[in-house]
Amino acid sequence: MFRKPRKLLKRLYIICVFLILCASAAIALDDTPTLTLTDTQGRYLLSKHIKILTDPSGLRTVEEILENKNTEKFIANKAKNPNFGYTDAAYWAHFSVTNKSTLKSQFYLEIAYPMLDFIDFYQVRDKKIVHHLQAGDRLPFYTREVQYHEITFPITLEPNQTNDIYLRVKSTSSLQLPLTLWSSTAYASYISQQRTFLGLYYGMMLVMVFYNFFLFISVRDKNYLYYVIFILGYLVFQFSLNGLAFQYLWPQYPAWANLAIPFSIFLGGTLANQFTRSFLQLKKNTKRLNYIFITLIFLGGLTAAVTIFLPYKIAIVAAIFYISVSTFFMITAGIVTFLKKFRPARFYIYSWAAFLAGIILYVLKTLSVLPVFFLTEYAIQLGSAIQVVLLALGLADYINTLQSERKDLILDKLESRLQMMESVSRFVPERFLEFLGKKDISDISIGEATQRDMTLMFVDIRKFTTLSENMTVEENFHFLNAYLQRMGPSIHSYRGIIDKFIGDAIMALFPDDPEDALKAAISMMQELKTYNEHRGKSNYTPLQIGIGLHFGPLMLGTVGSSDRMDTTVIGDTVNLASRIESVTKIFRTPIVLSDFVYKKLANPSLYHLREIDSVRVRGKEHPVVLYEAMDYLPPQVLSKRIEAFPSLQMGMFYYKAGSFNEAKVEFEECVKIEPNDPIPLMYIRRCDKLIRNPPSDKWSGVSRFQ
How far from 253 is each of 234, 315, 703, CA to CA, in Å? 21, 18, 52
Residues 387 and 356 in one domain: yes
592/518 Cα distance (integer angstroms): 10
243 Cβ contact list (under 8 Å, min separation 6): 114, 115, 137, 149, 150
**CATH assignment of the domain containing 283:** 1.20.1070
Structural domains of the chain, count:
5
> Does 481 share its domain with 600?
yes
Residue 153 sits in the same domain as residue 202: no
Buried b (16+ CB within 10 A) or exposed e, 66-99: beeeeebebeebeeebbebeebeebbbbbbbbbb
Same domain, yes or no: 139 and 252:
no
- Categorize the per-residue pLDDT at 704 as very low, low, confident or very high, splitting at 50, 70 and 90: confident
Shared domain check, 168 and 265: no
Look at residue 26 in the predicted model and tell me its pLDDT.
38
CATH of the domain at 459: 3.30.70.1230
pLDDT at 2: 41
Residue 199 and residue 181 in one domain: no
pLDDT for residue 134? 92
Residue 434 lies in a domain: no
3-state secondary structure 122-186: EEEECCEEEEEEEECCCCCHHHCCCCCCCEEEEEEECCCEEEEEEEEEECCCCCECCEEEEEHHH
φ and ψ at residue 50, rounded to 5 degrees? -110, 150
- Report yes or no on 435 lying in a domain: no
The b/e string for 256-293 (b: 16+ C-beta within 10 A; e otherwise) is bbbbbbbbbbbbbbbbbbbbbbbbbbbeebbeebbebb
What are the φ/ψ torsions at residue 147 (nearest 5 degrees)? -80, 80
Confirm whether 113 is domain-assigned: yes
Q: Average the pLDDT over 318-333 and give the result.
A: 87
- Mean per-residue pLDDT, 71-88: 80
User: Domain residues for 259?
Assistant: 191-401
Percent pLDDT > 70 in the chain is 84
Q: What confidence tens digit (pLDDT) does each residue in 235-254 have?
A: 888 888 778 888 888 888 88
Q: Is residue 657 in some structural domain?
A: yes
More confidently predicted of 22 and 39: 39
- Asked, for residue 421, whether it belongs to a domain, the answer is no
Give tens-digit pLDDT for 581-631: 888 888 899 999 999 999 999 999 899 999 999 888 766 678 899 999 999
CA–CA separation, 350 vs 390, rounded Å? 7
* Contact criterion met (CB below 8 Å) for 666 and 647: yes
pLDDT tens digits, one per residue of 459-468: 988 887 777 7
**Chain segment 155-214, per-residue pLDDT in tens:** 988 888 889 999 999 988 878 888 999 988 888 888 888 888 888 888 888 888 887 888
Q: How far apart are the first and last CA of the chain?
A: 143
The radius of gyration computed from the CA coordinates of the chain, to the nearest angstrom, equals 39
Same domain, 241 and 102: no
Burial 9-25 (b: 16+ CB within 10 A, else e): eeeeeeeeeeeeeeeee
CA distance 96 to 74: 13
One domain for residues 107 and 96: yes
Residue 683: pLDDT band with limits 50, 70, 90: very high
Amino acid at 156: T
Give the three-class secondary structure for 546: strand
Residue 271 lies in a domain: yes
Digit-coded pLDDT (tens) for 469-500? 777 878 778 777 888 888 888 888 898 888 77
Contact (Cβ atoms closer than 8 angstroms) between residue 246 and residue 149: yes
Residues 6+ apart with CB under 8 A from 214: none
Q: Specify the CATH number for the domain of residue 52.
A: 2.60.40.2380
**366 and 354 share one domain:** yes
* Residue 164 shares a structural domain with residue 40: yes
Residues contacting residue 238 through CB under 8 Å, at least 6 positions apart: 380, 381, 384
pLDDT at 18: 46
Indicate if 24 and 43 belong to the same structural domain: no
In a domain, 326, yes or no: yes
pTM, two decimals, is: 0.49
Which one of 157, 185, 213 terminates a domain? 185
Select from 185, 218, 250 the last residue of a domain. 185
> What pLDDT shows up at residue 678?
92
Name the nearest CA neighbour of 116 among 132, 93, 98.
93
Residue after which a domain boundary falls, among 135, 154, 185: 185
Three-state secondary structure readout of 548-586: EEEEEEEEEEEEECCCCEEEEEECHHHHHHHHHHHCHHH
Q: What angle do CA 114, 118, 123 make, to 5 degrees?
A: 95
Number of other residues whose CB lies within 10 A of the CB of residue 176: 20
Our CA dihedral for 644, 646, 648, 654, rounded to 10 degrees, sits at: -150
* Three-class DSSP category at 96: strand
Q: Are residues 678 and 626 in the same domain?
A: no
User: Cβ atoms within 10 A of the Cβ of 529, count?
Assistant: 12
Alpha-carbon distance values, 62 to 54, 75, 116, 124, 366 (Å): 13, 17, 19, 10, 29
Q: Name residue 169's beta-bridge partners.
A: 91, 119
Whether residue 407 is contained in a domain is answered as: no
